[in-house]
Structure 1
Amino acid sequence: MRIARTMKGKRVVLDGYNLLMPRGTGIATYARTLALSLGALGAEVGVLAPVQFRTSRKWPDLNEVKFHEALPAPDIRPGMRWARNLSDFLGSFGSFRPEPLKLRGVASGSGEALLPDNIELLLAHRLVERAEARFSMLGRDLNVRLPNAPSVFHSTYHLPIRIHGAANIYTIHDLIPLRLPGTTRDNKRYTYRLLKHVTARADHIVTVSEHSRRDIMELLDVPPERVTNTYQAVAMPADVLAREADHVAEVVRRIFDLEYQEYFLFFGAIEPKKNVLKLINAYVSSGAESPLVIVGSEAWMADAEMERLRDPSFESFHILGTEIRRRHRVRHIKYLPRNLLLYLIQGARAVVFPSLYEGFGLPVLEAMMLGTPVITSKTSSLEEVAGEAALLVDPRDASSISSAIRVMDNDADLRRHLSQLGRIQAQKFSEHSYRERLDELYRRVA
């Protein structure tokens, strides 16, 4: 179904804080989907891009060259951190004017691949660092002036930044630092102050589930009319959805040495809220013969999970004809390009995602879109996203997770049923539905 280009003539600027992360989190996926959806609605989309170099008005081509470098983190040597913070604080005063950049093909690099076509770039030297320094010391936003003020500035993260002359809206994905304080390294006092500040000053707040919306209203005292849930969507290429089972089976066998629908899969960052350690222990106690594949890089506070993944008891030997090959019951893959990850999802017996808390839960939606059965938590937004199309568990109870793995492993009819229900449930979060919700939101705030 084709949606009208209802935002034609409107200009929207997004922050690039997560959008330009090559291996970004779910927020990076959210930002890219938002940019593509706004473009499909006819809006002119710009990105306020934080960079670590000083831009030049005299030599714009040099700006493009520098942009296409790896955008490295700033070099903060021991003893220099306070000096840099003071420099960022002083730099937050006066007129903060980003430098427009039109990509002309002078150089190429990873940054260009992360951006939708025909997007406007506005390079801002140490944007996030200056904004955070200003808020930390004064409790105020970094005010940004653009040559032509957009209709809307949509920050995809709660950053203390405002664009002069625009409607300023902010997406708050979840309140995990407040709800599960032991699972993050955030400065809780700073985070709480910032969230209260952003919700008080914003023209509107956006979130991604009804569960997160309730949290925002209750914990941050935001009136219902000032916060809107748009849910999320995933852009799934048509050629991926059309893949034949035989082709998927051949790829997962050749690249991963795995048999089609003979392994369980978890994918996501390895951090406390993802509950990976309990998942591993539950899987081991389930007695399942199919391997458990964990795809994700170590994030923070993951020492126990990484130590468990190195457990030598996960290694065993199997004789295939005259060949002896080493197999691992639990396998860890640190990173996969998205295309290969999608093959692995399609080929899985089931995706197991027993997270303690999610603002939305993109892995659940992606698995359902691809027809892969799902085991997930009956907590936070995950039950809301999965509906009746998944096997729901108590993520704090290893026996609940273990039992679900055992049931899924042994019941082919259940797997077929959940595969069918999952595809139907995923339609509630289609790109078309997401764009309709965005259109209604922007009509109210812009």
Structure 2
Amino acid sequence: MLLTTTLLQSEKPSLLKGRLQIAIEAHRIFRPHKHGMDVVAHELLKRLPLGEDNIDYHVMVKQDTDRCISTTQNRVVHMLKKAPYFIWEQFLLPKACKKIKADILHCTANTAPLNSTVPLILTLHDVIFLEQNNLLTKSSWYQRLGNMYRKALVGRIAKKAVKVITVSDFQKKLIIEKLGIAEDKIEVIHNGVDNRFFDKVNDGDLQAKLQAYGLKRGYIFFMSNSAPRKNTIGVLKAYAKLLILNSFSPRLLMKGISEAELTKLLKQENLLWMKGYIDTMKYIPQNDLPAIYQGASMLWFPSFSEGFGLPIIEAMASGTPVVTSNVSCMPEIAGDAALLVNPNKPNEIATAAYQILNLPLLKYSLIQAGQKRAASFSWDAATKKTVAIYHEIEKAI
């Protein structure tokens, strides 16, 4: 049964008086194509200890088609009206929190309402939006506008929040340095990796999955998008060098880029000759990711900047060697279980890949170390730490 108002639709709650009411903003988790912050919010919401604490959870989402979370005991889903993000976050969300008489608001994706009177917990994944001139960057206009929105608001919001959660020690240091937030106000909670990535896909199912995507085992996997920090140009240059070293090198699978975008970049870099060696995908459903990782010979993740780098530990859990950057948070997350390279030097990326392809003992050691490293990142532990913060704030209000 749905309770409908002009503001939101709420699946009928089953709540008890006298319990702590926590609103959790999860704006985009109902969208079919989920990305980093959406995945993190979804993993948290799946693991909340429902019924074990004196807490009722109110999940605030934008209406969309993938109903991946539903109302259950002590967790109520509220579908707010569709609206431009600024209006949704700055006006609809605080009104909805007022309507349900929320005691705490936890915003999970870097920004939050400025005018909310509810004690705020902010998950600030990164401050990458402060690293570049957002008008001059080669990112898409959508990304530029998002960065400008965050640049205008995040500093004020973080100072207003009673607690800031971030996902790496590296980002904590940047938040202190760039936003002037007190160290004791910031809690580092590393992301986790779901158990399904550790489960080996049997050969028949893996072959069928790869055939459905038109792939053959052994490709190099690179997760791209149009943001310059992902280092797509550097990856293309590195792959060209690898092909020059050995023309029989594996194909390159680029996720998050279209054929048209790839062609434009290859023309720009005078690398159109290698287009026939590259496969592209715009999106890979979350359920298919373990098979895509396991079908790869390695993951390339040579970003210039990240908040956490979730694909690093997903690939490691899947038994796939990782080549990643020696800057930003990547060394913190990868530890000694990946080959670390200078992302500004395509030669280093190509050399690392060549070593994995030609040194079986190195590849084996990376697989073993990677799976051990990935096992130290747990969504259950991340959720437990988050709920502990809820109780900490409860005592203070």
Please, which of 251, 275, 290 is the counterpart of residue 342 of structure 1? 290
In the alignment, is the contact (CA less than 8 A) between 2:299 and 2:320 conserved in 1?
yes
Matching of residue 410 in structure 1 with residue 368 in structure 2? no
Q: 1:156 to 1:310 in 2, by over 3 A?
A: farther
Counterparts of residues 3-42 of structure 1 (less than 5 Å): 9-39=19-49, 42=53
Could you tell me which residue of structure 1 aligns to residue 384 of structure 2? 436
Equivalent in the alignment of 1:177: 129
Determine if the alignment matches structure 1 residue 272 to structure 2 residue 228. Answer: yes
Query: 1:111 aligns to what SS in structure 2?
Result: coil
Note the 1:284-323 alignment, pairs <5 A. 284-287=240-243, 288=246, 289-297=249-257, 304-305=264-265, 312-314=272-274
| Equivalent position to 1:227, from 186, 201, 224 | 186
Please list the CA deviations of residues 133-160 of structure 1 after superposition, one character each: whole Å capped at 9, or x if unmatched.
78xxxxxx95654344234211012334
SS across alignment from 1:429: coil
Counterpart residue number, 1:152: 104
Contact 1:248 1:347 in 2 (8 A): no
- Asked whether the 8 Å contact 1:143–1:163 carries over to 2, the reply is no
Tell me how far apart the structure 2 counterparts of residues 188 and 344 of structure 1 sit (CA, whole Å): 30
Q: What CA distance in whole angstroms lies between the structure 2 residues aligned with 1:158 and 1:249?
A: 36
1:397 offset after TM fit, Å?
A: 1.2
Cα separation, partners in 2 of 1:335 and 1:202, compared to 1, 3 Å: same
2:240 and 2:271 in contact (8 A); partners too: no
Distance 2:288 2:146 in 1: 36
- Alpha-carbon offset, residue 132 of structure 1: 6.8
SS at match of 2:66: helix
Confirm or deny: 8 A CA contact 2:94 2:116 kept in the other structure: no
Aligned residue type for 2:86:
E
Q: Structure 2: which amino acid aligns with 1:111?
A: D
Aligned-pair CA distance for 1:365:
1.3
The equivalent residue for 2:310 is 362
Structure 1 residues 375-400: Cα deviation after superposition (integer angstroms, max 9, x where no partner): 11111111111111101111111111
Q: Partners of 1:36 and 1:244 in 2: how far apart?
A: 23
2:212 to 244, 255, 267: 255
Whole-angstrom CA distance in 2 between matches of 1:256 and 1:111: 22
Whichever residue aligns with residue 265 of structure 1, its letter is: F
> Helix, strand or coil for the counterpart of 2:296?
coil
Q: Percent of pairs identical after alignment? A: 23
2:176 to 199, 210, 217: 217
Partner of residue 121 from structure 1, selected from 77, 84, 100: 77
**What is aligned with 1:422?**
370
Q: 1:14 to 1:302 in 2, by over 3 A?
A: farther
Partner SS, residue 428 of structure 1: coil
1:38-64 Cα deviation digits (max 9, x unpaired): 2466553222234xxxxxxxxxxxxxx
- Aligned residues of 1:294 and 1:332 also touching (Cα < 8 A): yes
8 A Cα contact 1:158 1:198, kept in partner: no
Aligned 1:94-133 pairs, distance under 5 A = 110-112=65-67, 114-116=68-70, 118=72, 119-125=75-81, 126=83, 128-130=85-87
Structure 2 CA distance, aligned partners of 1:398 and 1:359?
A: 22
Task: Specify the SS of the correspondent of 2:48.
Answer: helix
The amino acid across from 2:36 in the alignment is G
2:150 is matched with: 191
Residue of structure 2 equivalent to 1:61 = none
The one-letter code of the counterpart of 1:32 is H
How much does 1:23 deviate?
A: 0.9
TM-score by length of 2: 0.80
Closer, same or farther: CA 265–188 of 1 in aligned 2, 3 Å? closer
Contact 1:389/1:418, CA 8 A, preserved across alignment? yes
User: What is the deviation of 1:130?
Assistant: 2.4
State which structure, 1 or 2, has the greater radius of gyration over its C-alpha atoms.
1
Q: Shift of residue 249 of structure 1?
A: 4.7
| CA–CA separation in structure 2 for the residues paired with 1:26 and 1:120 | 23
2:195 is paired with a residue whose SS is: coil
In structure 2, C-alpha distance between the alignment counterparts of 1:309 and 1:45, rounded to whole Å: 50
Give the Cα separation in 1 of the matches to 2:78 and 2:193: 26
* Structure 1 portions without partners, runs of 5+: 1-7, 51-66, 72-109, 135-140, 316-327
Residue 48 of structure 1 aligns to a residue in which SS? strand
Q: Which amino acid aligns with 1:13?
A: A
Cα deviation digits, residues 232-260 of structure 1 (max 9, x gap): 123333xx633355235523553345443
TM-score (norm 1): 0.72
Deviation at 1:312, TM superposition (A): 5.0
Q: Secondary structure at the match of 1:336?
A: coil
Q: Distance in 1 between matches of 2:94 and 2:210?
A: 52
Q: Is the 8 A contact 1:177 1:186 kept in 2?
A: no
In structure 2, the partner of 1:351 is 299
Tell me the residue number matched to 1:88: none
- 2:238 counterpart (282, 289, 309): 282
- 1:48: which partner in 2? 60
Contact 1:13/1:154, CA 8 A, preserved across alignment: yes
The CA deviation at 1:302 is 8.3
1:330 to 2:278 alignment = yes
Q: Tell me, which stretches of 5 or more residues in structure 2 are unaligned?
A: 1-17
Q: Is contact 1:207–1:227 with CA below 8 Å preserved after alignment?
A: yes
Shift of 1:163: 8.4
